Structure 1
Amino acid sequence: MSHLPTQKPAYAPLAILAAVTIAALFIPSLPATINSEGIDTGDTAWMLVASAFVLLMTPGLAYFYGGMVNAKNVISTMLQSFIAMGVVSIVWIVVGYSLAFGEDIGGVIGNPMTHFMFKGVLDGEPVGTIPAVVFAFFQLKFAVITPALVTGSMAERVNFKSYVLFMVLFCIFIYCPLAHMTWGEGGILLNKGILDFAGGTVVHMSAGWAALAGAIYLKRRRSHMSGDFQPPANIPYVLLGTGLLWFGWFGFNAGSALGANMLAASAFATTNTAAAAAGIAWVLFDVARGKKVSALGFSIGVVVGLVAITPAAGFVSIPHSLVIGVVAAVISNVLAHIKTKTALDDTLDVFPCHGVGGMVGMVLTGVFASSAINSAVTEQGLYFGETALFFKHIIALVGVSLFAFVASIVVFKITDLVEPLRVDEKDETMGLDKSQHDESLYYEIGA
């Protein structure tokens, strides 16, 4: 087994972690009492399970992305997802949850001191019928997977240390504000009546626009410029990742009902229907264009359907979720095909699939949302003859898109100033598994 030369020691990240650890010893964290009044044990049990489901999505994403890159970049790509579970969890405890769900500041962000170091969460007032701490950790899992989604656009050329810094900045300055605006008490999008059941704007549009910004900022891989096509390393990994994502997405969407109830059951059903419809629509559309049915195509289609139904899951009927899945799959398929004819190097088509899928879902939520499914819908969708909700969603889509894209460019620029975002030509040619981590998918005996 070969070893690369030892890199220059980096003490700053360790110092930051040490400071956070020491601070945790001096911040009062023990509640006076823990109030269980108003908590439903059945709802709490379901939300604990749903939270675990959502966390499983990030390893699923690791396999999904890891199988699609070439063999010398599999470990680095997968680690970019796994490391998010560690980094974002710490950021969320320290300040992320407070920024997303703390006391409102201008409808845009939460007060960072409201729940700094999780102050007042363990003994906080229940959120509906579940403990505040369960809600907080359910929301953490959403924050974990969002920056991990972005990595697919930068795969095979991003500096790992820079990615970790980007992840922290993205969480604080992009994800948390969007979460507050969409779901936080006093959030501007929530107050305007914008519907996002489980993260079409917060997760998928933010990740999609950040992915586009990243692909543009990092520029093209050398293999992309030379036309040197390198096949996916492991299609079975992609299938495994798809299965884990599909499974975990039931927690993502049905869990967003925040209880074991009929709304959760409805969201569960629409989630499965949209995923199935999109997977089939993707491969049938491929066949209609003269291509063969592929495992990769079906897997991508399924994920596009899951993305598109996310904002709509608890607001639309089951038949309408089928329509959402089909429409999203066809649009994403066409755009992914068009992208191949351009110079844009979004390695794993994150923007055409997650970004566009999220936008399609947001628009179609404004078309099919119905108060018959969810009483929180105060304005019917366009399909039912009302226009207000639809146009609100169009305006919000433009606003969220501009914010996510511009803010991402700024975050990438700041990150690049601190630590170069892109690896050098030698490291890119060697592959990120070895150049960044001194590991390899397959080791040569005696090497």
Structure 2
Amino acid sequence: MDTGDTTWILIATALVFFMHVPGLALFYGGLVSDRNVVSTMMHSFVSLLIVSVVWILWGYSLSYGTDIGGFIGGLNYLGFNNVGEEAALGTLTIPHYLFAMLQIAYAAITVAIISGGIAGRISFSAWVLFAVLWPTLVYAPMAHWVWGGGWLFKMGELDFAGGTVVHILSGVSALVAALMIGPREKSLSHKHRPHNIVLFLFGAAALWFGWFGFNGGSALASGGITSLAFATTHVAGATAGIGWLIIEWVIRKRPTLIGTATGAIAGLVAITPGAGYVTIPSALIIGLLASPVCYFSINFLKHRLKYDDTLDAFGVHGMAGIWGAIATGIFAKKSINPAGNDGLLYGNLQQLLHQFIGVSTAIVLAIVGTFVVLKIISLFVPLRVSKEDELLGLDLSLHEEPAYTNISMQPQKER
């Protein structure tokens, strides 16, 4: 084992946990109304707690256990059995304990992202069950297929840090959950306004900071590929933020802080699958094109189809993840990372086809898996809170814990 690699992955793992709280919790918490701040932050925090336990007990084994037919991992790591101080998976230069902990962080934030599509109306009991079942039935199989030696891995689909496994899976699942649970009261006729842009921006900055660990840590070592992932991550976020700013300036005649920061997050999502496989100039292009993809998805597709994805989890993570995974098949360059392959730009059409298969697989699994999970949960608890609880706000109705002392105990009047 290598002490330098181990030190870096320890830091990277901590950075990814930092993306949960304060990162995603503040990012989502600032975007919702002042009556749903605590409940929204609870989704991020509680998912980290529950998924951590699920991952230790069986999730890690299903993802990284001995391959069974290319479709699922064996049970040799149940309860972290056979996970110790030895080199991870027999080939890496970091302890097995550490590799498994990094995977906990990835799995947990994938679940937390989904909460953005259904914030303000999902019941807390349903969310707790979802945080147990979804990573077991949806995330673990996909993680095995792509990263654990499964059939997509063997085929050659590239996903450096989670374009298909994390972002497409969570974004599409958020959309399915939003459609199944239904829109917020009067949400389609009244524009939702974020209650605290300062919290939102701090959360966005924390996510960007944590993303260096998210993408850089996926190199599973410290060195040249890690440095490449650092650089591509930053420049893609920067160009995407600029792209969104320009689009808003042209269409709306004024740029917004929320839009610019959202654009940056879209760029960070888009570069995730190719962070260690593409060049810096390619990362600039991937980030820049992520902005129009996500902007028009949120501002046109969403309103045309009238689905209520509360915090645009699908519009940002789903759509940018799809673009990023496909872009990896276009811009990947084997000479900068021998573990990857050349993409279409370098004469390899087959890699682009592999990426399309990976994207399609993630979409189908997210749709079917999330539908099944929510149907199972609905047999035991209501998926949605009552109309009265929703109008009062979930902070008071579910937790009796308002984020601000001036929040009224009376339900909001319907307009």
For normalisation by structure 2, the TM-score amounts to: 0.95
Whether the aligned pair in 1 keeps the contact of 2:36 and 2:394 (CA below 8 Å) is: yes
- Match for 1:273 among 229, 235, 244? 235
Whether the aligned pair in 1 keeps the contact of 2:35 and 2:407 (CA below 8 Å) is: no
Matches within 5 A, 1:65-76: 65-76=28-39
My pick for the range that moved more, 176-185 or 117-126, is: 117-126
Kindly provide the CA deviation profile for residues 196-217 of structure 1, in whole angstroms up to 9, marking residues without a partner as x.
Answer: 0000011001101101101110
Compute the displacement of 1:445 (Å): 10
The amino acid of 1:296's aligned partner reads I
In the superposition, relative to structure 1, how do residues 228 and 134 fare at CA in structure 2: closer, same or farther (>3 Å)?
A: same
Q: Tell me which residue corresponds to 1:360.
A: 323
Kindly provide the CA deviation profile for residues 166-216 of structure 1, in whole angstroms up to 9, marking residues without a partner as x.
Answer: 11111100111110000003x111000000000001100110110110111
Secondary structure at the residue paired with 1:308? helix
- Match for 1:211 among 174, 178, 183? 174
The amino acid of 1:421's aligned partner reads L
State the distance in 2 between where 1:318 and 1:358 align.
19
- Match for 1:434 among 396, 401, 404? 396
Secondary structure at the residue paired with 1:232? coil
Q: Do structure 1's residue 425 and structure 2's residue 387 form an aligned pair? A: yes
- Match for 1:172 among 125, 136, 140? 136
Q: Tell me which residue corresponds to 1:49.
A: 11
Secondary structure at the residue paired with 2:47? helix
State the distance in 1 between where 2:219 and 2:180 align.
37
Matches within 5 A, 1:102-113: 102-111=65-74, 113=75
- Match for 1:411 among 359, 362, 373? 373
Q: Tell me which residue corresponds to 1:94.
A: 57
Q: Tell me which residue corresponds to 1:282.
A: 244
Whether the aligned pair in 2 keeps the contact of 1:308 and 1:357 (CA below 8 Å) is: yes
State the distance in 2 between where 1:445 and 1:323 align.
45
State the distance in 1 between where 2:250 and 2:49 align.
44
Compute the displacement of 1:165 (Å): 0.3
Q: Tell me which residue corresponds to 2:223.
A: 261
Q: Tell me which residue corresponds to 1:9.
A: none
Compute the displacement of 1:126 (Å): 3.2
Aligned pair count reads 405
Whether the aligned pair in 2 keeps the contact of 1:223 and 1:229 (CA below 8 Å) is: no
In the superposition, relative to structure 1, how do residues 428 and 445 fare at CA in structure 2: closer, same or farther (>3 Å)?
A: closer
Asked which structure has the greater CA Rg, the reply is: 1
- Match for 1:312 among 265, 268, 274? 274
Whether the aligned pair in 1 keeps the contact of 2:171 and 2:314 (CA below 8 Å) is: yes
Q: Tell me which residue corresponds to 1:141.
A: 105
State the distance in 1 between where 2:260 and 2:298 align.
14
Compute the displacement of 1:398 (Å): 1.4
Q: Tell me which residue corresponds to 2:118.
A: 154
Q: Do structure 1's residue 303 and structure 2's residue 274 form an aligned pair? A: no
Q: Do structure 1's residue 374 and structure 2's residue 324 form an aligned pair? A: no
- Match for 2:127 among 153, 159, 163? 163
Q: Do structure 1's residue 192 and structure 2's residue 192 form an aligned pair? A: no
The amino acid of 1:54's aligned partner reads V
Unaligned runs of 5+ in 1: 1-38
Q: Tell me which residue corresponds to 1:241.
A: 203
State the distance in 2 between where 1:314 and 1:135 align.
18
In the superposition, relative to structure 1, how do residues 120 and 370 fare at CA in structure 2: closer, same or farther (>3 Å)?
A: same
Runs of 4+, deviation exceeding 6 Å = none
Q: Do structure 1's residue 131 and structure 2's residue 95 form an aligned pair? A: yes
Compute the displacement of 1:396 (Å): 2.2
Unaligned runs of 5+ in 2: 410-415
Secondary structure at the residue paired with 1:336? helix
Whether the aligned pair in 2 keeps the contact of 1:152 and 1:348 (CA below 8 Å) is: yes
Kindly provide the CA deviation profile for residues 3-48 of structure 1, in whole angstroms up to 9, marking residues without a partner as x.
Answer: xxxxxxxxxxxxxxxxxxxxxxxxxxxxxxxxxxxx1001000000
- Match for 2:80 among 118, 122, 144? 118
The amino acid of 1:52's aligned partner reads A
Whether the aligned pair in 2 keeps the contact of 1:161 and 1:419 (CA below 8 Å) is: yes
Whether the aligned pair in 1 keeps the contact of 2:167 and 2:269 (CA below 8 Å) is: yes
Compute the displacement of 1:394 (Å): 1.2
The amino acid of 2:263's aligned partner reads G
Compute the displacement of 1:292 (Å): 1.5
The amino acid of 1:293's aligned partner reads P
The amino acid of 2:288's aligned partner reads V
For normalisation by structure 1, the TM-score amounts to: 0.89
Whether the aligned pair in 1 keeps the contact of 2:87 and 2:93 (CA below 8 Å) is: no
The amino acid of 1:235's aligned partner reads I
Q: How large is the RMSD of aligned CA atoms in angstroms? A: 1.4
State the distance in 1 between where 2:236 and 2:85 align.
38
Whether the aligned pair in 2 keeps the contact of 1:199 and 1:310 (CA below 8 Å) is: yes
Secondary structure at the residue paired with 2:385? coil
The amino acid of 1:133's aligned partner reads Y
State the distance in 1 between where 2:407 and 2:269 align.
42
Compute the displacement of 1:253 (Å): 0.3
